[in-house]
Amino acid sequence: MEKVVGVLQKYGCAKENLIQIMLELQKLSGNNCLPKDWVAKVAETLELPLSKVYGVITFYSMFHTEPTGKYFIEVCKSGPCHIAGAENVLHMLEKELGIKPGETTPDGCFTLTKSSCFGACDIAPAIKIGEKVFGNLTKDKLKEIISSCREGL
């Protein structure tokens, strides 16, 4: 909870900074999500109804209310990646990780999701793992990326 108070203070406990506060808290959470009691604390401090705050964190796709895997893999499925073979990338990842989009591996290591375009169309098909973007993906390249993730655990 000190973390929450710290972030709230950094943003001057101002309502308009709600999204910035939540982004930062999610980063601090360690499991890429917003714990319920943190959310409640933020709502209370900013004097916002909890329903409003809940509305905000469910509206934006970057917020999670449940913990995600350590590596949060987003496969772009928008037009440019689609015609570059995003479907294949997704299938390869599903096979490699043994999970479907929206799921997390039992070891809590990977979460797989589909995402909207994140501006890597010049290197499509592309995926994003955390902040990092990987493009021009082939089967071998994907395998390499996943195994380096596994090593990095």
Partner 1 sequence: MDMINLKIDGLDVSVSKGTTILEAAKELKIDIPTLCYIKKLNEVGSCRVCVVEIEGKRGLQPACVTNVSEGMVVSTANKTVRETRKNILELILANHNRECLSCPRNLKCELQKLCNEAGVDNVYYEKKALRSPVSASLSIVRDPGKCVLCGRCISVCANVQNVGVIDFAYRGPQTAVTTPYEQNLSENSCINCGQCIEICPVGALQEKDDTDKVWSAIDNPGLHVVVQVAPAVRVALGEEFGMPVGSNVEGKMVSALKRLGFDKVFDTDFSADLTIMEEGTELLDRINNGGKLPLITSCSPGWIKFCEHNYQDFLDNLSSCKSPQQMFGAVAKSYYAKRADIDPAKIFVVSVMPCTAKKFEAVRDEMQVNGYREVDAVITTRELAKMIKLSGMDFTKLPDGTFDGILGESTGAAVIFGATGGVMEAALRTVADILTGKDLQDIDYKEVRGLEGTREATVEINGMEIKLAIVNGTGNAAKLLDKIRAGEANYHFIEVMACRGGCINGGGQPIILDKSKTEEVRQRRAEGLYGIDRSKEIRKSHQNPEIKELYADFFEKPGSHKVHEHLHTHYVKR
Partner 2 sequence: MEDIKILSARFGKIKPDSVEEYINAGGYEGLKKAVTMQQEEIIEEMKKSNLYGRGGAAYPTGIKWEQAYAVKKDPKYLVCNADEGEPGTFKDKRILAEDPLLLIEGMTIGAYIMGAKEGYIYIRGEYSAIQRIVKSAIENAKKAGYLGTNILGKGFDFDLHVVSGAGAYVCGENTALVESLEGKQGRPRQKPPYVKNCGLFQMPTILNNVETYSCIPCIVNVGGERYSSFGTEFSGGTKLLCLSGNVVNRGVYEIPYGLTIREIIYNLGGGVKDGKKLKFVHLGGSSGSCLPESLLDTRICYDDLKKNGLSLGSGAVLVVDDSNCVVDYLKAVMEFFEEESCGKCTPCREGNQRLLELLEKLSQGRGTLADIEKMKSIAQTMKMTSFCGLGQSAPTALVTLLKYFENEFIEHTAGKCANGKCSMNSKGVN
Contact footprint for partner 1 (CB under 8 A): 36, 49-55, 58-59, 65
CA distances from 140 to 78, 90, 146, 149 (A): 23, 14, 10, 14
Q: What is the distance between the alpha carbons of residues 34 and 3, in angstroms, rounded to a whole number? A: 12
Smallest separation (angstroms) from partner 1 to the CB of 59 = 5
Restricted to residues 103-132, the positions that interact with partner 2 (CB under 8 A) are 116-124, 128, 131
User: How far apart (Å, rounded) are the C-alpha atoms in residues 40 and 32?
Assistant: 17
For residue 23, state whether it binds partner 2 (rule: CB under 8 A): yes
Contact flag: residue 28 with partner 2 (CB under 8 A) = no
Q: Which residues here bind partner 2, judged by CB under 8 A?
A: 14-20, 22-23, 52, 55-56, 59-63, 77-80, 82-84, 86, 116-124, 128, 131
